[in-house]
Amino acid sequence: MSSPQNIVEQFAVLQTLYNWAAGIDLKDTALLVSTYAPDAVSDFGPILSYPILSCMDFLHLNPEFGVLICSRCKYALAPGTISSHLNSLHKNEVTKSERRVCVELWKNRPLQPARHVQQLDLPSNTQPIPNLALFHNGMRCRVCTERPHITGKGNSRGMREHLKACHQWESGDKGGRPSKILLASHDQRAQKESVLSAVTVAPVSYQTFHRSNFTRFFEVATLLEPNVRPLNLPSSPLSLEEQVEAQLGEKTRAFDERASTVLQLPSEQSAWLQTTEWVRYLQGHNLGDTAQLVALPHSFEPEPELVAILGSFNRLIDQARDSVLQGKINAFDQQRINSFLRAGSRTSKASDRPLAHKLKEGTYRKYKKTGKQLLCFVFRMVYLGQEPSLHCLLTSAQSAALDNVAHGARIFIQQREHDVCEELRTAQIRSQERTLDSACLRLWIALLDHRLMGDIYDSVVVGFLAVLGIDATRKGFQEATTYTPHLSALIKISQMLVLQRAVIAAEEGETEYPAQMIETMQDRFMAYGSRSPINWAQKLRVYGKKIRDSTTSLGYIVWSDDGQKLNYKGLELSMSGLKQFVRQQVEFAHDRLQQLLFIHTEDTREDVVPKLRLQDLKDDPSLNRLGQSFLTDPRNPALQGYNRWLLNRVLKYSWLQDEFFVDVKKAIWRTEAVERYIRQVEEFLEILLLLIYITSGQPPWGTELTSLQYCNAAHGRRRNIFLENGLITFVTFCYKGHGITNSTKTIHRYLSQEVSELLVYYLWLVLPFCTQLKLLALNSKEPVSPYLWAAKEPKEAPPREAPQPPQSQNATRLPHWGSSRLSKILQQAFRTWLNTDGNITTWRHAAIAISRKHLGGAKFKRDYGSEPAPTWAAEQTGHTAHVAGNVYARGIEEAPGHVDENGRTWPLDGVFLKKTVA
């Protein structure tokens, strides 16, 4: 066996060869290794029996220091953490088998312990170590004689704490909280910096091997920037053009830097900026640097304490959601927290709405991001003292809560890295998690509990809202139309955490019921007129929404001169091509239906399938019996007795028996054929979904369309698919704005005769056969779904009572149907049939534009000569005509603030269908 040093060198050779030989045959790689590093074959031979490890292209061994560095994450891995690192940060890049091989490879290899590496004393002229993150603008302690202490960019507070703790350094500052005047004084800050510069060196370049508890920065040599000459080398004289170019570049950079700190209001009056006072607050500060204060931690910048705090915040939101779902907060408390009114002043119906907490996961992720940005801002600017230093005055409760959170985060990190047995380690981490969560929750409540009697920017939360309004890409500020979602996020997160604080108080005996503390906190800092940061956010949100509702969006619709071609953000449609597309989809769907009904190409549907006239069918929407639909109406004898029509057809004809049975005598089904048939049904439903979406009037919301129910269900909800005058009609409910108005919009839609016929035949003959196949061949135990498109499959299947025959997990239930799937179907159809790019959003604008352009104020004959055309189709979109005119299908030639009157009167949905399919 080779020595440890030789092993390290041999692996470096092996890794170099891998980087060169990646992608070639494994035998060739082994040949290269045996040729150039023969000793490595015996030591690392087992790895050559595996496929090339994908993790070897970003895990690099540094033989000089004996550390394994991840070039993706830019830091070294502590021994024993390779598996957890690959599993948590590179789960999608490295398979489980590769991870096991990698761990086995480095097991018992000579990697230096993280504690030993942390104690290395490297000279300041050390060249930057490859693959480690390289930081600039650091600050080094002059007083340290060994392993000098280095802090990150702008962390003057950390350096001051080091100087006081290790060198008994005194800054000369007086105790107590600084006054508002001193805090805002530039001279005061400059004086502090000059005192600190006497005992520190800045800027310096620095690196760290490890993260978390083993983080220690060490200074490295500063690399020359590109195009910068060393001072000891003579430079050739510059030409006149080069001198002018250099002068222009220098002055332009200086001008840009000055422009980013000297803020000016736009020449036209901006009521939004005047109301927010962002310009006054951020005057003199670089907007780009200021925006970095609210940036979430990056893997390249080690901020372990902040990462721990944000993890605690994540847990708090999850706990708050669970508390509401578990009934710890009753309906009265939810209404109270959602009222924003003081006790005894609830006069509006809006105050009786419960808290809307059943939001989508994507919405919660966006809301939590805003909350995390607030914690980043407070921790970096106030606790770490990072620049730029913005004005704020913390209360004594806020200062104490912030110190407790920082202390809890440090203890949590130390416990996580503590080398003890796994059981004890887990228990200690859980205990410290609870402590950190409690401190983080109290910090959030303390930040909200700030009565603003002077400058509103005394509150660090209000200052955060100003920084959040920076649009770094445009070097300016966000408009009200895009900013209000941040305010909604802050308010919603604060509501959830106030509820959780009340729940914790009741559980720990601080109060008898959560309602008592909710009342106190609501009146103190969550209600209108409370002079709190949330009260400020409420005012801005109301004003911002008024601006949004009265502001028109930019126009992107472009029509050809003859009005026959439309272009909208990559979607290009011709009216003739669109009509042909709809006809093709109808024909395609009828062909697929014939396949599902087992009709040969030489046969016709009239000869095989029972005849049916939709005009003769009747329906009674008032009946509420379980399973009631037009299929079970006794007045429709033509529909009765056909539940087993397709099954009988399979049992009758030998060619179908051969297809669906392995053994006819023993009635053993061929599961592959059954699964194939169900996949064909799924493809038919995709076409049907596309046709209904395009031809049922103005584009519906994806969720309202995929929730169509063809029969009454056991949960009490009635069906919304009906038959009327030979056409299928369905009634959906649009919940857009439900959280504000506490009401839904009822929308009626009609299908053409061709599409109605497709749907009736599917429900009448195909759907019963699918249910029977699942029972007979796939041994399915799932209940029959009342929905036209199957509901989402549960995460865990119920336990089986006895062993069952093997079945396909993909075929027992059709995949989940939702907005995302509808969007994929629409995109694929537009790309395949129309050779253009389209999705739900672009088609919504295009459909409204086509209605305005070609159908105008269409009415039924009996309505001509009456008052202005109705806005029924506008209401189909879930908006009023005014909002639709401001937002949807605006032409590129429409000026800001202008709303075309024709856009206020849209056509009837049936007219659009009639003209399109014709």
- Least confident stretch, 72-81, 786-795, 904-913: 904-913
Domain membership of residue 159 (yes or no) is: no
pLDDT on residue 536: 95
Q: What is the pLDDT of residue 235?
A: 54
What is the pairing mode between strands 565-568 and 558-559?
antiparallel
Question: Given CA atoms 909, 913, 916, 918 in this order, what sign does their dihedral have?
Answer: negative
Q: Match 């660090």 to its residue by tokens.
A: 460
**How is residue 442 written in tokens?**
């109290």
- State how many domains the chain has: 3
Instruction: Count other Cβ atoms within 10 Å, centred on residue 413.
Output: 20
pLDDT score of 436: 94
CA triple 343-344-345, angle to 5 deg: 95
- Residue type (1 letter), 615: Q
Q: Does residue 580 belong to any structural domain of this protein?
A: yes
CB contact at 8 A, 412 and 434: no
Nearest CA to 545 out of 464, 483, 471 is that of 483
Side-chain-side CA neighbours of residue 316 (13 Å): 32
Q: Which two tokens stand for residue 246?
A: 């250099």
Answer whether residue 555 shows pLDDT above 80: no
Please give the structure tokens belonging to residue 325.
Answer: 């779902």
Same domain for 437 and 522, yes or no, is yes
Residue with tokens 């919940």: 735
What is the rounded distance in angstroms from the CA atom of residue 416 to the CA atom of residue 427? Answer: 10
Angle at 645 between CA 640 and CA 651, to 5 degrees: 150
For residue range 583-639, list pLDDT tens digits in order: 999 999 999 999 999 988 777 878 888 888 899 999 988 888 888 899 989 999 999
Q: What percent of the chain has pLDDT over 70?
A: 73
Q: What is the pLDDT of residues 823-849, one digit of tens each?
A: 889 999 999 999 998 888 888 888 888
Determine the average pLDDT of the residues in 717-738.
78
User: How confident is the model over 284-310, as a mean pLDDT?
Assistant: 85
- Residue at 417 is within a domain: yes
The domain boundary residue, chosen from 92, 112, 132: 112
Domain boundary among 487, 516, 548: 548
User: What is the pLDDT confidence band of residue 315, given thresholds at 50, 70 and 90?
Assistant: very high
Predicted pLDDT at 184: 42
Structural domain for 776, as ranges: 565-714+753-793+808-857
Which of 174-183, 234-243, 329-338, 364-373 is the most confident on average? 364-373
- Structure tokens, 226: 């590109």
Chain CA centroid to CA 546, Å: 27
Q: What is the DSSP letter of 557?
A: B
Q: Is the pLDDT of residue 523 over 80?
A: yes
Point out the domain boundary residue: 67, 87, 112. 112
pLDDT for position 223:
62
Q: Percent of the chain at pLDDT above 90?
A: 28
Q: pLDDT-based confidence at 344, cuts 50/70/90?
A: low
Q: Which residues contact 349 (CB under 8 A, 6 or more apart)?
A: 742
Surface-to-core class of residue 130, CB atoms within 10 Å of its CB (0-12 exposed, 13-18 middle, 19+ buried): exposed
CA proximity to 714, closest of 775, 782, 785, 781: 785
Domain membership of residue 301 (yes or no) is yes
Which pLDDT score is estimated for 784?
Answer: 80
pLDDT at 917: 44
Q: Mean pLDDT check: name the lowest of 3-7, 338-342, 717-721.
A: 3-7
Mean of pLDDT values over 305-325 = 94
Bridge partners of 663, per DSSP, are 668
In tens, the pLDDT along 794-814 reads 333 334 333 343 343 333 344
For residue 535, is pLDDT > 70? yes
Helix, coil or strand: residue 588:
helix
What are the tens digits of pLDDT across the range 153-202? 667 777 888 888 888 887 665 544 444 434 444 445 555 566 777 888 88
Letter for the amino acid at 350? A
pLDDT at 881 (0 to 100): 53
pLDDT at position 809, please?
38
Do 853 and 764 lie in a common domain?
yes
How far is the CA of 873 from the CAs of 189, 281, 550, in angstroms?
A: 62, 47, 22
Whether the per-residue pLDDT at 49 is higher than 90: the answer is no
Please give the pLDDT value at position 51: 44
What does the block give as tokens for 695?
């031809």
Please report, in angstroms and rounded to a whole number, the separation of the first and last CA atoms in the chain. 83
Task: Indicate the DSSP class of residue 222.
Answer: P
Same domain for 573 and 526, yes or no, is: no
Residues 606 and 677 grouped into a single domain: yes
Packing angle of the helix pair 422-448, 460-468 (nearest 10 deg)? 90
Residues 584, 590 contacting (CB under 8 angstroms) = no
Give pLDDT, residue 576: 92
Predicted TM-score (pTM) of this structure: 0.63
Is pLDDT of 357 > 60?
Answer: yes
β strands within 320-360, DSSP E: none
Is there a single domain that holds both residue 506 and residue 626? no
Position 358 in a domain = yes
Strand order in the sheet with 200-207: 150-151, 135-141, 200-207, 218-220
Q: Amino acid identity of 79?
A: P
For 758, the 3-state DSSP assignment is helix
Lowest mean pLDDT among 114-128, 486-500, 650-664, 865-879: 865-879
Mean pLDDT of the chain: 77
Whether residue 398 lies inside any domain: the answer is yes
What pLDDT was estimated at residue 113? 87
Position 491 scores a pLDDT of: 95
Closest Cα to residue 56, out of 117, 126, 125, 105? 105
Q: Are residues 470 and 617 in the same domain?
A: no
Predicted local confidence at residue 460, as pLDDT: 96
Is residue 489 domain-shared with residue 593, that is, in the same domain? no
- pLDDT for 277 equals 92
Quote the DSSP letter at residue 13. H
pLDDT computed for residue 6 by the predictor: 52
pLDDT value at residue 169:
81
Closest CA to 889 of 571, 563, 551, 556: 556
Residue 438 parent element (H or E): helix 422-448
Q: Tell me the Ramachandran region of residue 416: left when phi exceeds 0, alpha when psi lies from -120 to 50, beta otherwise.
A: alpha
Name the token pair of 716: 């009490």
Mean pLDDT of 473-498: 90
* CB within 8 Å of 488: residues ≥ 6 apart: 367, 541
For residues 437 and 316, the answer to whether their CB atoms sit within 8 Å is yes
Q: Is the pLDDT of residue 568 over 90?
A: no
pLDDT digits (tens, 9 = 90+) for 404-417: 999 999 888 887 76
∠ CA 364-821-742, rounded to 5°: 45
Highest mean pLDDT among 87-96, 184-193, 225-234, 323-332: 323-332
Highest-pLDDT range among 61-70, 158-167, 176-185, 776-785: 61-70
Q: Is the pLDDT of residue 31 over 70?
A: no
Whether 164 maps to a domain, the answer reads: no
The alpha-helical segments, DSSP class H, found in 559-644 are 575-596, 605-608
**pLDDT for the residue 916:** 45
Reported as a single tens digit per residue, the pLDDT across 358-405 is 888 888 999 999 999 999 999 999 998 888 889 999 999 999 999 999
Position 94, amino acid: V
Compare 348 and 834 and report the one with higher pLDDT: 834
> What is the 3 state secondary structure string of 495-523?
HHHHHHHHHHHHHCCCCCCHHHHHHHHHH
Q: What is the pLDDT of residue 318?
A: 94
**Which helix (DSSP H) or strand (DSSP E) does residue 568 occupy?**
strand 565-568
Look at residue 554 in the predicted model and tell me its pLDDT. Answer: 66
Top-confidence residue, 910 or 39: 39
pLDDT at 553: 62
- Residue in the structure block whose two tokens are 């584009």: 699
The pLDDT of residue 812 is 36
The whole-number pLDDT of residue 718 equals: 81
Average pLDDT, integer, range 268-296: 87
- Checking if the pLDDT of 464 tops 80, the result is yes
Q: Which amino acid is at 29?
A: T
Per mean pLDDT, which range of 10-14, 201-205, 277-281, 423-427 is the poorest?
10-14
Same domain, 518 and 594: no
pLDDT of residue 701 exceeding 80, the answer is no
Centroid of chain to Cα 254: 38
* Cβ-proximal residues to 137 (8 Å cutoff; 6+ apart), any chain: 153, 154, 202, 203
In this structure, the strands spanning 218-220 and 67-70 are unpaired
Helices (H), 50-112: 82-89, 96-106
Could you tell me if 644 and 504 lie in one domain?
A: no
Same structural domain, 530 and 613: no
- Looking up tokens 């921790």 gives 379
Whether 373 and 447 map to the same domain: the answer is: yes
Asked, for residue 264, whether it belongs to a domain, the answer is no
- Give the residue among 581, 565, 592, 589 at the shortest CA–CA distance from 831: 581
Least confident of 284-288, 698-702, 845-849: 698-702
Q: How confident is the model at residue 895 (pLDDT cuts 50, 70, 90)?
A: very low
> What pLDDT sits at residue 883?
57
Regarding whether 542 and 596 lie in a shared domain, the answer is: no
Q: Nearest to residue 201, comparing CAs of 223, 219, 228? A: 219
Using CA atoms, how far residue 343 sits from 336, 516, 523, in Å, is: 9, 12, 7
The Cα–Cα gap between 115 and 208 comes to 13
Identify the residue with better confidence: 660 or 781: 660
